[in-house]
Amino acid sequence: MLFKVLLGISLSLLILLTISGNVLVCLAVCASRRLRCLTNCFIVSLAVTDLLLGMLVLPFSALMLLREDWPLGPVFCNLYISLDVMLCTASILTLLAISVDRYMAVTMPLRYNSLVLPRRVAVVMVCVWTVSLGVSFLPIHLGWNTPDGTVQNYNYTNKTRECRFELNRPYVITDSILTFYLPLVAMCWTYHRILRIARAQAKRILNHRRISTTANFNRRCSTITTTTIVSTITAVALREHKATVTLAAVIGAFVVCWLPYFIHFTVTGVMEDSSPGIEYNVVLWLGYANSALNPILYAALNRDFRMAYAYLLRCRCPSHNGGRSRPPSPVANTAGHQLTEVTLLCGHTPTSCRAGLVEEDFMLHQINSTISPPTVQLSNGTTGTDVNGNEGSC
């Protein structure tokens, strides 16, 4: 009894965390104008999918785990299993869409706004839900997933009150490859490419900063030059480390949560064993935990979402940034946002989603074009010229 009480409390907390976290994501996008952009449609779709999973599936999964039987009959059992498969599949495929969207934002920043259009985002969402429906409701209610070809759970007696997800080899191989293994490979490849591009951008930024400062500053600004280089190296290195850690958390959480379940799912399906054990419940709820982590990994790590969360939790409107304007970021911070906000968290700049292209254009211009010589302010407060004869002030 004590074990069941502790288990019930743990499952209830996980369900509440899943529902509240994803509701907060949806409210943040609705309440903040800065978050209402096309690139956040995937984040909202992911939050809605995980919210439906937390409301329509997780309570019944907890009920069946605590009661050790299914009291609601075979019809509702098959409906519950179909919803479970559909929403989990939609969540995984939406994570894949997010990774591809970020990859396009980093590799093709100048063409991103012309490629990622509302109708194309809608087509991607329709494809996600079509595939999710195709591997859930259709085969389960037509008996394509069972070894004998009959609809599952109707051949059990009322006394057993079981709710089983029966599996055969063709269904398991098709479903696992289409909805997990291929998305896993694609996500690993896209995030690996994103990380390599982010590191290459950081190195180019540092090299151009070194060249521009050392070549254009005169000897009287040697102290300023050294300080500028050191501060830039430190800022970019720290943000590059943060980018690496964030990517590791994103892909690591996905693998840790879903890989054990799909390994068990594949092995059980190949063996055509439909008798769930304790290990099945463990890996199943580990996969469910990914829906509670998604609002943290894909939204709360974004500064705009964090600000919206803070104002929502304080019962304020985040639309106008609380009446306070944020000071403009220096170039070092621009490089940091390129590595964190733009590259990883799908919010193209901390200012607005539409401004991301402008910031990326600035980054590419800074890297690929000739940088105008900087100007300095002498110790007496007057404006000075650099070694090339350009006048100005810091």
The answer to the question of residue 179 being in a domain is yes
Structural domains counted in the chain: 1
Nearest to 62 by CA among 290, 285, 259, 294: 285
Nearest to 194 by CA among 301, 92, 107: 107
The answer to the question of residue 232 being in a domain is yes
Residue 339 belongs to domain spanning: 2-321+330-371
Dihedral sign, Cα of residue 89, residue 187, residue 348, residue 111: negative
Q: Convert the pLDDT of each residue in 373-387 to its tens digit.
A: 444 444 444 444 443
**Pairs from 175-180 (Cβ < 8 Å, separation ≥ 24):** 175/85, 175/135, 176/262, 176/265, 176/266, 176/269, 178/131, 178/135, 179/89, 179/92, 179/93, 179/131, 179/132, 179/135, 180/92, 180/258, 180/262
The answer to the question of residue 96 being in a domain is yes
The answer to the question of residue 317 being in a domain is yes
Please, are residues 151 and 78 in contact by the beta-carbon 8 Å criterion? yes
Q: Which two tokens stand for residue 144?
A: 């394509």
Please, are residues 307 and 350 in contact by the beta-carbon 8 Å criterion? no
Q: Which of 50-54, 156-160, 169-173 has the lowest mean pLDDT?
A: 156-160
Please name the residue that has the structure tokens 């591809």: 100
CATH number, domain with residue 235 = 1.20.1070.10
Q: Convert the pLDDT of each residue in 54-109 to its tens digit.
A: 999 999 999 999 988 888 888 999 999 999 999 999 999 999 998 898 888 888 88
The answer to the question of residue 214 being in a domain is yes
The answer to the question of residue 388 being in a domain is no
Q: Is 27 left (phi over 0), alpha (psi -120 to 50) or beta?
A: alpha
The answer to the question of residue 118 being in a domain is yes
For the entire predicted model, the pTM comes to: 0.76
**What is the spatial distance between Cα 55 and Cα 288, in angstroms, rounded to a whole number?**
12
The answer to the question of residue 385 being in a domain is no
Residue 280, φ and ψ in degrees, nearest 5? -65, -45
Q: Please give the pLDDT value at position 343.
A: 42
